[in-house]
Amino acid sequence: TDIDGIARLVMLEDHRDFDTTDLSHLLASQHPEVRRRAALAIGRIADKRGYALLRAKPLDADTAVAATEVFAAGQLKDSNIVAWFDSLLANRRLAPTVLAEAATALGKIKTARARDALARFLSSASESPRLDQAIGEALLSIGRCNTRGDLDPIVRFGKAKSDEVRWRAAWALFRPRDPAAVSVLMVMAAGDQSPDVRLWAVRALTKVQADSAGKTAEAEKILLAALRDSDRRVRTEAIRAIGTYSDSAAVAAMMAAKDSPDSWISVSAAEGLARLNPPPPTGGRQGGGGGRGRTPPPPVSRPLSDYKAIVERWVVPDYNGAPRPTARWETVRGSIEIELYPGDAPLAVDDFVKTMESGTIVGTAFTRVVPDFVAQEETIPGGHRLRDEVSRRGLTRANLAWATGGLDTGTPGYTLANAVQPHNEGDFTALGRVTKGMDVVDRIQLNDKITAARMLIVR
């Protein structure tokens, strides 16, 4: 019965069908996993009527279910729910995961009221094992908001003990492009011990931002020093930021960097030089492989029995702790091993495995490679439109997703993340993660191809 219920939920998600009777019934299931997946389905269907179903009873006693209920409400992106998330953040007795999801949800709504709620929480919260996760998510969320405001709730965490908290503070200061943040970010760029902090701080020191704060000379000096940073990502972001300057020191730095054997550095330098002397338009663009500018094929149509088979093949074993399906890609740079998330994205995993077994992925090229961001395949021939299955998994470095022009528009043409992508949270599916070969992912260059592919573990 539980499997039948989950199959029904996956079908509702796939059709984006808000069925009040089924969803209400399954939210009241005896099995916590069924309740969790019912809440998850409400978030994925993203019909604002779902909030009433989620709030028809108190938060679930099972913390995994409760956190998913809050996550689902956040996916509705309804500004009328800000007060509820605010009240959750004020209740420090709640589980850390529930607090973190409330903070994350406000960053999806992005309004001034959402920012105010986040600022209140950050102003009163202190570092602790219980609150650090929520603080980190609140920092990312306040950086996503569409309005600027007081920076003090963010700045106070710029000297946090945790590297994880500090880089999120740097991101939150960088993202709104507020001139008032430049001086703080200069200090972080020049002196923080964590490269994760330095890279986001360096990104903020573009000429436009430095000019707006009256700190052009000082910012450029920091960037030139960052070109010698011990961390490759910081050096990449430094040359990218230097590319927005046009004085002799910046041009000399870019000229030297364009001959670097490191493709991240040389490509970023070449792009900076091209901005100074842009080539004539050709009418073309680097291939994106993922759905923008074209009509995607229709999604797959299937009966309920197919959804039940998918649940039995992918969801049940994952819930019971079976080894996750794993794939290996061979490239000219080396091999990459990828673990999939069958419990979180069963439809996408099922499609991925079929694509792998068909062999159509072999020979596809990475037609979009952005240093310190993403390596993205071209569209794989014969692919179906993929339904997004957004989950509580963040878009971290090593994440496997697919190219898309918006929710439910993508087709197979997979992307590998070189860096975290907080700005995309809630809009992309985490399909899996690279477990071996991230050094290979970091070396991928434009038009490199997948030369062989096979499943290592599959059910």
For 134-145, how does the pLDDT look when each residue is reduced to its tens digit (9 = 90+)?
A: 999 999 999 999
For 186-208, how does the pLDDT look when each residue is reduced to its tens digit (9 = 90+)?
A: 999 999 999 999 999 999 999 99
The half-sphere exposure of 370 on its side-chain side, counting CA atoms within 13 A, is 13
CB 414 within 8 A of CB 63: no
Contacting residues for 172 by C-beta, under 8 A, at least 6 apart = 139, 140, 142, 143, 154
What is the pLDDT averaged over residues 284-300? 48
What is the pLDDT averaged over residues 290-302? 58
Q: Look at residue 158 and tell me whether its pLDDT is greater than 60.
A: yes
pLDDT for the residue 283: 45
Q: Look at residue 293 and tell me whether its pLDDT is greater than 60.
A: no
For 77-99, how does the pLDDT look when each residue is reduced to its tens digit (9 = 90+)?
A: 999 999 999 999 999 999 999 99
Contacting residues for 243 by C-beta, under 8 A, at least 6 apart = 250, 254, 268, 269, 271, 272, 273, 275
The Cα–Cα gap between 318 and 72 comes to 21
Residue 291 — very low, low, confident or very high, per pLDDT cuts 50/70/90?
Answer: very low
Q: Cα dist. 431→31, 157, 395 in Å?
A: 25, 32, 10
DSSP β-bridge partners for residue 433? 339, 399
The Cα–Cα gap between 220 and 381 comes to 46
pTM summary value? 0.93
Stronger pLDDT, 96 or 297, i.e. the higher one = 96
For 397-425, how does the pLDDT look when each residue is reduced to its tens digit (9 = 90+)?
A: 999 999 887 788 888 899 999 999 998 88
Average pLDDT value for the chain: 93
For 309-357, how does the pLDDT look when each residue is reduced to its tens digit (9 = 90+)?
A: 999 999 999 999 999 999 999 999 999 999 999 999 999 999 999 999 9
pLDDT for the residue 119: 98
CB 244 within 8 A of CB 210: no
Contacting residues for 199 by C-beta, under 8 A, at least 6 apart = 231, 233, 234, 236, 237, 372
The Cα–Cα gap between 11 and 17 comes to 8
Q: Residue 100 is encoded by which pair of tokens?
A: 């973190």
The Cα–Cα gap between 421 and 196 comes to 13
What is the pLDDT averaged over residues 284-295? 43
The Cα–Cα gap between 114 and 81 comes to 9
Q: Look at residue 242 and tell me whether its pLDDT is greater than 70.
A: yes
Residue type, 391: S
Q: Look at residue 230 and tell me whether its pLDDT is greater than 80.
A: yes
pLDDT for the residue 405: 79
Q: Residue 2 is encoded by which pair of tokens?
A: 């539980």
pLDDT for the residue 280: 67
Q: Look at residue 388 and tell me whether its pLDDT is greater than 70.
A: yes
The Cα–Cα gap between 104 and 195 comes to 24
The Cα–Cα gap between 456 and 459 comes to 10
pLDDT-above-70 percentage for the chain:
95
What is the pLDDT averaged over residues 221-245? 97
Q: Look at residue 284 and tell me whether its pLDDT is greater than 80.
A: no
Q: What is the 3-state secondary structure (H, E, C) of the chain?
A: CHHHHHHHHHHHHHHCCCCHHHHHHHHCCCCHHHHHHHHHHHHHHCCCCHHHHHCCCCCCCCHHHHHHHHHHHHHCCCHHHHHHHHHHHHCCCCCHHHHHHHHHHHHHHCCHHHHHHHHHHHHHCCCCCCCHHHHHHHHHHHHHCCCCCCCHHHHCCCCCCCHHHHHHHHHHHHCCCCHHHHHHHHHHHHHCCCHHHHHHHHHCCCHHHHHHCCCHHHHHHHHHHHCCCCCHHHHHHHHHHHCCCCCHHHHHHHHHHCCCCCHHHHHHHHHHHHHHCCCCCCCCCCCCCCCCCCCCCCECCCCHHHHHHHHHHHHHHHHCCCCCCEEEEEECCEEEEEEECCCCCHHHHHHHHHHHHHCCCCCCEEEEEECCCEEEECCCCCCCECCCCCCCCCCCCCEEEECCCCCCCCCCCEEEECCCCHHHCCCCCCCEEEEECHHHHHHCCCCCEEEEEEEEECC
Q: Look at residue 381 and tell me whether its pLDDT is greater than 90.
A: no
Residue type, 346: P
Q: Cα dist. 290→8, 181, 199, 284, 346 in Å?
A: 29, 35, 28, 16, 20
For 145-156, how does the pLDDT look when each residue is reduced to its tens digit (9 = 90+)?
A: 999 999 999 999
61-65, 123-127, 279-283, 397-401: segment of lowest average pLDDT: 279-283
pLDDT for the residue 290: 45
Q: Look at residue 44 and tell me whether its pLDDT is greater than 50.
A: yes
Helix axes 112-124, 132-144, angle to 10 degrees: 150
Residue 459: which of 312, 360, 305, 303 has the closest Cα? Answer: 312
